[in-house]
A and B are shown apart, each in its own frame.
Chain A
Amino acid sequence: MSRPIPLVALMLCVVLSLPALHVRAQTANDAQAITPFRIFAVVWRGETEVEQGFRDYLTQRGIPFEMTVRNLNLDRGNAPPIVEEIKHTRPDLVYTWGTGTTSSIVGKVETDTPESFVRDIPAVFTLVSYPRAANIVESYESTGRPVTGVAFLAPVETQLKAIQAYRRFTTIAVIYDETAGNSRINVTDLREAAPALDIRLIELPVPLGENGKPDPATLPRLVQKAKASGAELLYMGPDSFLTRHAKAYTDAAIAAGLPTFASTQAPLKNSRAMFGLVTDYHTLGKLTALQAERILVEGRRPQDLPVARLSRYKLWINVDVMRELGLYPPMDIIAIADFQTSPGG
């Protein structure tokens, strides 16, 4: 009768010691990679939630790393000394935030001056709207050089479908800066996707001022023009110029009784765009860290890693604008949307 008890006790011991063994195994693994990975991050306008997500993911996965962060401070001119520093310190991985930063640190696919860029250290980019169009990668499948990253825009078709799920808008106007590559690519994509969804697209490039740059003073007039041509919605792409003047632009839109859809987060946060389909920065950072893990831990070559893309996006709705315009979303959209109020309002 007493025989089973020691057996049970033994089994209990084994079961109880399993977690401890596990911890041991973990530590053994860690010991192999005791030197933390050195990551050199270059950002455009200071640290954002993307870097937070990036760090969180690596920490959660137990990957030891040291991260150096340099800020371009909205100016590409600050890039050369940082490139020099990277070449000198030779980190394990370079991290770049945004189209501008990426192209000024790792350069484009083809360049006449390879010496002014980091070309031989693995790099991941993030928050690049159109990496292929911006000539940062050869294709989404393979970058053709030790660079990979994450595309952050929802595909244009997905954006248009989100717009139509909100309401059956059929005439959409896009006001854009035709001097910016991103904007031009964006409009081209829109033009291609619109007919399949029965959308009539009105393209309104912002007229250039005397300095050859788009003139913000023309924005209210353009909104009026869009309204007059039957537009029901203004579309706002990944356009730095518009993002800078988003407040005035969206105010003009509301005055004209037009809602604005934004494909990036900034206009929703800082202006009065009514709604948008955007990427969550924190999630984006995690996805970027996943690419980093594949390179650092799994030892894979960046050129073998396709550019990653999020499969889920956030639908942001500005309640105040929605109420002001009286354009209410349907119940099923309400159930999945994130609501927020206007900044300061």
Chain B
Amino acid sequence: MSSHADTAVSTPASAKGGITRTRGILGRLVLLAVIVLLLGQIVVAWFAVTGFERALEPQLGQKAGAVGRAVADQIAFVVDELGIPSDDLVGVDPFLDKILESNEDIKYLLMVDPSSKVQFARGLPPETLAQVLPDLPGTDSETGSRSEVAGFINSVFPIEADGRVATVLHVGVSGEYVRGRLSELLYEAITVIVVSLLVTLEFLVFLVSVRVSGPLERIEKTLTDGGQGRFGNHIVMRARDEIGDLVSALNQALRGLRQRYEDFQFDVREIKDAQIDRSIVERIQTVCQPVEDRYSFSGGAGLRPRNAMQIRVPLFLFMFAEELPRSFLPLFIAGLSPTDSAISDELLFGLPITLFMLAGMLVVPLGGGLADRFGARWVFLAGVIPATIGYFGTFLAQNYYDLVGWRILSGIGYGIIFIAAQAWVADNTDTRNRAQGMSVFVGGVFAATICGPSIGGIFADRIGFEATFLISAGLAIVSGLVVYFMLDGTVRGRRTHRTTFGGQAWRTLFSDGRLLAVAVFAAIPGKLILAGFLFYLVPLYLSDLGNRQSVIGWMIMLYGVSTLAFMPVMARFADRSGRHVAVVAVGGLLAGAGCLASLSDATFGGPLNAVVIAIVALGIGHALSLTSQLAIVQEVASYHGGLGQASAIGAYRLVERSGMVLGPVVAGVLAANFGYQGAIVGIGCIVLVCIALYMLLMKLSRRRTARMRKRWFA
């Protein structure tokens, strides 16, 4: 798990030539951190789990003890004080059944007389009873003493009448209950380990790239320039750490060199001016000219450490905040939904998610325009404000309409931050490493997809839905603080981020069958299944099946894990083979087919397993198709010229996002008519049909494209 995250994290770090060499340090540092952390966490988790086991078992025993004592007292009253022989007791079975009913963890109640004859036995099927009986402790056992009997924890209560044991009550608690709670705890421990590892890695890579590799790359550039005789540069850096000291020493040295050169030139000028003989002046000039030619001491730039990585931690933190409620958002909405609405409940539960996505989508042009004027940093900070207010409002929301309003506000913040982060990457990369810079972006989002839902689920179980939004608000604020204090504010946007959604972009998109096929029949269904199935149906369906929030969070985490795990491998494979069109198709088919697992739960051992299969298939499917989709769009759009390409990609992104908007609505309509399970299958079918159309369109337009390509390059 962590090694994949490592791959994803370190790939962008190698983007710049200069950083490749620091990869050794970073790689070793990360490896060491992972090993140390993992060992520590495993030890702590082991202590926690075994401690829990040790604490829970006696607790269960105590419960069995308390119930057993109460029952034994009642029976003792009957057999001893009322003098009713234990064999002649009437109505014992319903009496014991009632106790079993109200104490779920107690699995059986037995009354055995001193001659080992079973008088009354409730809770066990005959075959299990036969296994239990031979191991039961005898009449001489101490009251309340416990022992393990055929997988049960058995407590003994001998009951006396007239000073002799009349009957023995046995109370059995299932060991399974303990084991069930333990495995839940184990899941949670693993979640916490994975998440804390990812968070550590994020921060480690962030710190190293901002404070070490970024400046080192600049130092390297300065030294390389120096080696070529250019001493005019200096490095602009604020940090007062070891690297900062090195940088200022270097700047100092450069300043000293420049000063000395100026002194030297001053001396030369003085000597030249003092000569009367022109030939001597010329000779001095001849001697000094090569120095001027070979060395330059002015005209250099203030070099700023630039690194696309810098945006990753704030982006990760913000996406973490947004992903926290992922596992329970539809349930939370359901809890606030009006019961007397004209539209169906299912649609109502999905609507706030849809409106959130829509708000995020609509602010994209605005965010791009703002990034042009004020720079990515300020736009990011501007996005944090509505997002945080939105989370806080959601925490306080009293009814459905409040909630919708606050979610829309959060969606606006989300959209702005999304654009700001993209703009940051664009500002800090050039065409050579743009793609890898973008993977910084994607990596941050996916790391949050893994961390957010799982931790959010654990929070929801413990502090409730509302309070989790408060944590989201806190995380969003922290992301803003990181941007404010750690990111270089003087860098202004240099290029235009405003995606022109003018007629040309759309013409490009719709005039090319291949672009259209990718956007409409691959990208839209890809996002539709993500929002409709994963964000909307999974929480509602799994909760309906009686799962805890932490389990639901875990399931949603599986998507991020499987995407992140397969993305690097798949992307490399797709790039090498060049068969992007086919890879997109395979990915889409996989994602769609996974949902069909819910058609027959039994084949896969229960509805939960079917959902797990669908989620993992979706993750792998997206790992396959996401990068290849973009590759196709870039490739096809490149035929249409530079500006056409940029705007076509913008238009493609916008079209793609409409899938997110549609997802919950489509899933809601399906769920209202066919139930959650039917809706999952339905969404799978929609995706499969879309992919079929995609393949058809691709095939049809291939010939046309081939003709077009010929014409283009003729």
Contacts and interface: CB of A to CB of B under 8 A. Distances in A.
Contact of A334 (B82, B83, B94, B98): B82
B82 A331 contact: no
A332 B94 CA distance: 8
Contacts of A330: 90-92, 94-95
Interface string B74-107: 1001100111100011111011001000000000
Nearest to A166: B90
User: Of B78, B82, B94, B95, which is in contact with the most chain A CB atoms at under 10 Å from its CB?
Assistant: B82
Contact of B90 (A319, A323, A331, A335): A331
Contacts of B90: 167, 328-331
Nearest to B95: A331
Interface residues of B, number: 15
A333 B95 CA distance: 10
B82 A339 contact: yes
A333 B78 CA distance: 11
B261 to A, nearest CB: 67
A134 interface: no
B95 A332 contact: yes
Contacts of A322: 82
A328 B94 contact: no
Contact of A319 (B82, B91, B94): B82
A77 interface: no
B95 A328 contact: no
Nearest to B94: A332
Nearest to B82: A319
Interface residues of A, number: 14
B84 A328 contact: yes
A211 B94 CA distance: 53
A326 B88 contact: yes
B92 A328 contact: no
Interface string B52-91: 0000000000000000000000100110011110001111
A332 B98 CA distance: 10
Contacts of B88: 326, 328
A167 B81 CA distance: 21
Nearest to B93: A331
Contacts of A328: 82, 84, 88-90
Given A329-B90, A332-B95, A333-B91, A319 B74 contact: no
Name which of B77, B88, B89, B90 has the most chain A CB atoms within 10 A of its CB.
Answer: B90
Contacts of B78: 331, 334
A287 B396 CA distance: 50
A331 B74 contact: yes
B227 to A, nearest CB: 69
Nearest to A328: B84
Interface string A299-325: 000000000000000000001001100
Contacts of B91: 329-333
A331 B92 contact: yes
Nearest to B78: A334
B80 to A, nearest CB: 12
Contacts of B94: 330-332
A22 B94 CA distance: 51
Contacts of B82: 319, 322-323, 328, 334, 339
Contacts of A335: 74
Interface in A193-248: none
A79 B74 CA distance: 51
A323 B88 CA distance: 11
Contacts of B84: 323, 328
A339 B80 CA distance: 13
A163 to B, nearest CB: 14
A2 B672 CA distance: 62
Nearest to A335: B74
A255 B95 CA distance: 32
Given A330-B95, A332-B95, A319 B89 contact: no
A81 B223 CA distance: 131
Most buried by B among A331, A333, A334, A335: A331
A323 B84 CA distance: 7
A319 B83 contact: yes
Nearest to B83: A323
B102 to A, nearest CB: 14
Contacts of B74: 331, 334-335
Pick from A323, A334, A335, A339 the residue with the most CB of B within 10 Å: A334
B326 to A, nearest CB: 45
Contacts of A319: 82-83
A9 B444 CA distance: 57
A208 to B, nearest CB: 40
A334 to B, nearest CB: 6
B167 to A, nearest CB: 13
A331 B83 contact: no
A323 B78 CA distance: 11
A322 B84 CA distance: 9
Nearest to B96: A331
A333 B83 CA distance: 16
A332 B78 CA distance: 11
Contacts of B83: 319, 323
Contacts of A334: 74, 77-78, 82
Contacts of A329: 90-91
16 contacts: A319-B82, A323-B83, A323-B84, A326-B88, A328-B84, A328-B88, A328-B90, A329-B91, A330-B95, A331-B94, A331-B95, A332-B95, A334-B74, A335-B74, A339-B81, A339-B82
Given A323-B83, A331-B78, A334-B74, 17 more contacts: A323-B84, A326-B88, A328-B82, A328-B84, A328-B88, A330-B90, A330-B94, A331-B89, A331-B90, A331-B91, A331-B92, A332-B91, A332-B95, A332-B98, A334-B77, A334-B78, A334-B82
Interface of A: 167, 319, 322-323, 326, 328-335, 339
**Which 6 A-B residue pairs are closest in the complex by CB-CB distance?**
A330-B91, A331-B95, A330-B90, A328-B84, A331-B91, A328-B90
